[in-house]
Each structure stands twice: as structure tokens, then as C-alpha cells.
A and B are shown apart, each in its own frame.
Chain A
Amino acid sequence: MSGTSNETARRMAMLRDMARIRAFEREAVAAMRSGEAPGVVHPSIGQEGVAVGVCANLKRADRITSTHRGHGHAIAKGADARAMMLELHGRAGGSCGGKGGSMHIADFAVGMLGANGVVGAGIPIACGAAQAIRLTKEDAIVACFFGDGAVNRGPFLEGMNWAALYRLPVLFVCEDNGFAAFTRNSAVTAGGGPAVRAEACGVPATAVDGEDVLAVDAVTADLVARIRAGAGPQFLHAICYRWEGHTGTDAAAYRPADEAAAARGRDAIRRLAAVLEAEGIAAGEIAGIEAQAAAEMASHRAAAMAAPWPDPGAAYSDVQDAGAPA
């Protein structure tokens, strides 16, 4: 990669992050299906462009809140992928010591304030994080990821109004993959949809092709610059598609096969690879990045299987100090 421009290096980094997210989730889904990883995994394969395009514009001090489908956001924000893999295997050394699992990955050290098992719950939390940042005069912003399903919950409306009212430094990122679990979200959403609702509360909305990481990057760069300059909250409506089912065991029979196939044809990773190849990066180098990502995540999975279970006594720690379980 020597001799490439800063711009190309940045794109290579984005490619690497997307490849790492996909490889992580392929291993996670396989581990779940084989029974090695307990519980449920919600893969974001196909949506990597949103997580990476947004987080490429965030600094370490910036915070994010995430969803039940949060592996990609966490990895893109710089969370420790090995600890994440241990976590969803329920092992000691996991991001949350095995107490959270896939739906509750968090890495506070890199500003990842947590995935969340409750749809829309990250929105109020992001608003408060932004308020604290303002109160402490910290130089940081908050990015709040949620799905299109969340726009039908009360906290969405409350949060848009709230953030606009106090002009909070929040980037709301609606990952609109068209589905809320097994239901096409348009079938249960009245009116003009997410962006219209945000704008009704005074949060300017911008649409972007979420399967084009460079587009996400460019639009986010602009929105983040505005937020850092004090313009208040911004809403990014990222149109995307999840390739897999709602969970690793959902065959997604509720949607036409050609629709999912078409989404695979818009793969953000392949599209960025094509751009990089056109800029002179060798196909072998790109394949190498993907192979490296796959090897890294396979090794994390092996490490997770080999890792010890948490000490059962840990089940009673970190509940509370006053009145903690004996």
C-alpha cells in the first residue's frame, strides 16, 4: 500500500473495517448455529457501510449508542473484537464478562456506550450523553444508531424533540433496512417515514445510500462538521438491506428471494473494492485484507471456545453496592 494517498489509505481502512465486521458476524452466526455460542445473534451483514461510513468520522472521545444489531457499530467504533467474540460465547474475558452477550456488547473505553435489547432505547440515552458532554464542556459528539422500526416508538419522537430543543450534538443514524423483525416496516408506519418525522421536530434529515460506504462517509463528514460547529442535531437516513434473517436462525422466508439477491448485488464491500481497484490497488491486496479479517475472526472464535467460563460467583457482582446480594 506504499505510495497511496491519504484518501486511499482512509478507504483501505474502511474496507478493512467492513471486512472485519462481516467476518466477525459470519463467525458469530456459525457459532450460534452450531450451538457453540448460546443465545441469539442479530447479524448486520449487508449493513456494514453504514456503521463504517459513520464511525470513520468519529473520534475516540465521541460516544455512540447502538441497537440489538450492534456488532458492526462496536467494531467500527474501535471495540475489541476478540473481547466481543468471547462475550457472545459467554466466556470470561468477554467485553462484559459474559453478562451481556451479543445484544449488550459495550466498550466504554472507546466510547461505545452499549448495544441495547430494547428497540429505540438508545435514543434518550444518546440525548443525555450529549447533555453531559455539553455540561462538562467536553469536545465530543454522540452518534445514535437505531433501526427504522424504532421510529414507531415514543422515545423516538421524544428524543427528536429533545435534541432539537436543546440543540444537542447528536447524529441520529436511522439504519433503514426496510424491515422491523419479520414485518415490512412500511406496512406498519403511517405518513412519510423516518426523515419526515425527524424534520417535523426540527432535526434536519439527509438521505444516503447505506450500501455505498463512500457516500455515507461523505454525507456524515458534512453532518458531523455541522454538529461540531454547534448546528445542533442532524438525522442521517441510511437506506440499506440486511442480507440475513432477523436473527441467525431466521431464514427470512417473509421476503422475496430476488429482493435479497439484489441487495447482495449492491454489496458495499465489493463496491468499495471496485473503487479501490480503479485507483490502482491490486486485487490481491484487497483479497488479502479480506483474508486477514477472516483469519482474525476465526482465531477469535477459536480463542472464545478455548476460553474459560466466568467464575459463577461473578453472577452476583456489579449488581449494586448498597444492598448488594449476599
Chain B
Amino acid sequence: MTRMTFAEAARCALAAEMRRDPLVWALGEDLVQGGIFGQYKGLAGEFGTDRIVSTPISESTIMGAGLGAALCGTRPVIEMRIADFTLCAMDELVSQIAKVRYMFGGQGRAALVVRMPQGMWRNSAAQHSQCLEAWLTHIPGLVVVAPGTPADAAGLLAAAIRSDDPVVLMEPKNLWTTEGEVPDDITPVPFGIARHAAEGDALTVVTWSATVPVVEQAARESGIACDVFDLRSLWPWDEAAVVASVRRTGRLLVVHEAVTVSGFGAEIVARVVEGVGPGGLRAIERLGAPRAPVPFSPPLEDAMRITPARVAQAIRRVANT
């Protein structure tokens, strides 16, 4: 184990995968210079500019070229810089990458990774702060993962690169500098298995991505025995673990950074209700963002931010209902 930041963990994982497999390569803006969060730092020096490719600001082509390259046998890591810019490449992701295997009857596969750092980051306002995971879990053909710790940033990236499915990797912008213990030998983290972050009987709390450390802190400080799950991957997601937990606790709180309305939390609540039956639940709550764009000014942004205090309040509400 080594203590390192989220960005460093992701960088190490990519480097290890590139050493292991010469068909792995990365393309996106400013990669040779290290990427905007330092997650590609030094890689061009080791692997050359044919495998760490700095591209023009051409999101459609970054995404579409990644697909073409995958169809010709390589394993591209497509860097979108931030999730918001994926919107400029939505056709390539949704109508090409997610469809190619199915539409062509299994003749070809899009074995690629799309990295899209998401969420709030340093007052960057409405066009640089979005959480779009619910859009993408809705699209058949995509695997959607959202690490919440440095160890998972590494393990899920390794798994994504080795996967023959197209994997969307939503890295939380706010956690790039967060430190954690990372195994020296990075091993792939399997999709669809939640990390059981804390055990307790009072309620089940489900979260992922940037709100993972927030929820862990709130759970510790609340003094309430929470069963906390960091989902790690959203499609597939660990429905079995969550449903089993709620069967025991009878109470569910879902916390995510994204807008609550039509967020992935709605899917979780629906599946849990189907799983335990309406009579099996005493309380349900979703904690997310209001249906408003993310503002710029610090106090305005803070008004929307999911904080440990807000989560702790919600934990108490749900536990005591």
C-alpha cells in the first residue's frame, strides 16, 4: 500500500496498463502536457506521443476516432477533459460506441474507456460542473463506473481498460487531490460490486463518486450505525447488496451530487421498493442537487453542495422516521 492522491492513483493504473498491453493508448486534449488534473503526467515521456496523443479540441472526433481505433483492434482510453464536453460528442458515444456491437450483430466491439471527470470543482459554474451519470446509465451498451476513492480510481480504470465493453469512467473532479491508500500491485476492481464502507443496522446509505468521503464522514460523525455502500459502478450496480441491506434496516438514504430529479437515485429507490416490497420500508430519502444549474459564486455554490452536515441531518431524519 502506498498513500497517494486520486490523480496519482489513476496515473499509475494507466501507466501499468500501458506497460502491460502495447495496444492501450490514450487520446485527448493536453495529454502530453499531463492532462488538466495531472493524471497523465509524465506518460508521454515513457510511452511516446503516438500512445499519449494530444488532440485538437474536437470532441466528436476524439470520441469517434476512439471508436474507429477500437474497431481496428487497439484499446483506446478516450479523455473528455470534463464530462460536460462529452455533450459535444454525444452522437459518437450514444449512437455509435454504445450501438456498434449490437447493430452490427456482434461483428465488432468497442473495447474502449471514456474518461469524463465530473461534478463540482472550484467554482467552475454551470457548464463545468455537471453530473451526467443518469443520462449514461440510461443507454444500453455502456458500462458506467464512478470511483469514490483513490484505490478504486486505480482499480476501476484498470478494469475498464481490460473490459471488452465500452466503459464510461466518471472521475470526481473534486477528489483528484484527495489522498488514500492504494495497493502497490493495482488489480482490476470488478464491476457491479459495491464497497461496503461501513456497517450498521439503523439505515442503509448508498452513494458514489464525489459524495463518498462526504457520506463516510457524516456517517462517522452522526453517531448512528449506518450501513454505507459506495456503489463504485452504476451500471451494472450492486442491487443485491443494497436490497439485502434494506431488508435488514428498513430504511434507505441515497446521496448523490447530481440533480435529484431523474437522478440515478430514483432508479435505486425504485429497484429497492420492487425488491423489498412497499411494506418492507419505513423511510426513504434521496439527497441530491436541486434542479438548477450550478452557480459560480462560492456561497451560491455552497448552497447546493452536499456537505457532511447535510448528510448527517438526512441520516438522522431517516433513522428517526
**Interfacial residues, chain A to chain B (CB-CB below 8 A):** 63, 65, 94-100, 104, 106-109, 113-114, 116-118, 121, 123-136, 138, 142, 154-155, 158-159, 161-162, 165, 317-323, 325
Contacts and interface: CB of A to CB of B under 8 A. Distances in A.
A320 B68 contact: no
Contacts of B73: 132, 136
Contacts of B107: 95-96, 106-109
Interface of B: 23, 25, 27, 50-51, 53, 55-56, 58, 60-61, 63-74, 76, 91-92, 95-96, 100-108, 140-143, 163-166, 191-192, 235-237
10 contacts: A63-B72, A95-B105, A100-B105, A108-B108, A113-B68, A125-B65, A128-B69, A128-B72, A129-B68, A323-B236
B274 to A, nearest CB: 13
Given A158-B56, A165-B56, A323 B191 contact: yes
Contact of A320 (B55, B65, B104, B140): B140
A310 to B, nearest CB: 9
B216 to A, nearest CB: 26
Contacts of A123: 61, 64
Contacts of A114: 100, 103-104, 108
Contacts of A317: 106
Q: State the 8 A-B residue pairs at the shortest beta-carbon distance, nearest first.
A: A124-B64, A128-B68, A128-B65, A323-B236, A96-B105, A132-B72, A97-B105, A158-B58
Given A124-B92, A136-B74, A94 B105 contact: yes
Nearest to B66: A128
A99 B192 contact: no
Given A162-B58, A320-B141, A323-B192, A127 B65 contact: yes
Given A133-B72, A135-B74, A108 B104 contact: yes
B25 A135 contact: yes
Contacts of B71: 108, 113, 125, 128-129, 132
A323 to B, nearest CB: 3
Contact of A325 (B25, B64, B140, B165): B140
Contacts of B100: 114
A161 B64 contact: no
Contact of A126 (B68, B96, B104, B163): B68
Contacts of B66: 128
